[in-house]
Amino acid sequence: MKKLVCLMLVCGILFLAPLGCGQTLSAAIEDNMSEIRRNVFEGQNDSLKVSFMSGEREDPYEYNGISEKNIDFGIFTVYFNEFIGNYKVPFVATINEEKFEGMLEKNPYNESYMVDIEKSAADDAEIIISINNMPAVVLENISSTWQVDYNQALELGKTYLNDELNEIYSSGKFQAECYLKPITDEKFISGQYFWSFYVVDTKFVRHTVMFDVNSGDLLVKNKTN
């Protein structure tokens, strides 16, 4: 925890100085967040596992180094324990008694089914979902137990990519978009999450860091073209 506090203090020193026409680098980054996932809820029963992540992301959602206006999102991701042949599966969900219903659609890249209800949830939200007439699942906010919340994670991401971010901003304009997401293994088997912060510039160069949700320790840092 002491190390995390020290890192947070460093964040303030590095990013409060104004650059270019007076906007700080920190403000430029926050103005160009194309996606920020603030919380993670999970639940399961004998038939499936389900997660719900919510926050804000750009619309249209395009991986091009340019950040557009953000809108709320809330994504349910479901993995069934047994094969489901249908491409679409009906669901009914409530968030604090507000009802959402529709169809989960098969993810073309893995075995999950997903839907975006275009609604974010507060950390203390009560979320219940019933899928394909199976028993309802009550989801719990697992991210509320992490020592590093999304605000702290954003500051740590800025610090770990300090040199790269300053280089992007050296022209006086921040020509890139930023993403902050909690990530885990497919099907949520391990139950272990990490924060991932990455920046994509207009030349599609991507700088990524991944760090622990409790200690804030840096685990991965790389650059891809």
Query: What are 87-97's pLDDT values in tens digits?
Result: 999 999 999 99
How many whole angstroms separate alpha carbon 61 and alpha carbon 69? Answer: 10
CA distances from 152 to 32, 64, 118, 158, 215 (A): 17, 26, 25, 10, 11
Whole-prediction pTM value? 0.89
Per DSSP, the residues of 39-92 read EEEEEE-SSEEEEEEEEEEESS---SS----EEEEEEEEEEESS----SEEEEE
Query: What are 107-165's pLDDT values in tens digits?
Result: 999 999 999 999 999 999 999 999 998 999 999 999 999 999 999 999 999 999 999 99
Residue ranges of domains in the chain, CATH in brackets? 2-31+146-224 (no CATH), 39-143 (2.60.40)
Helices (H) and strands (E) in the chain, counts: 4, 12
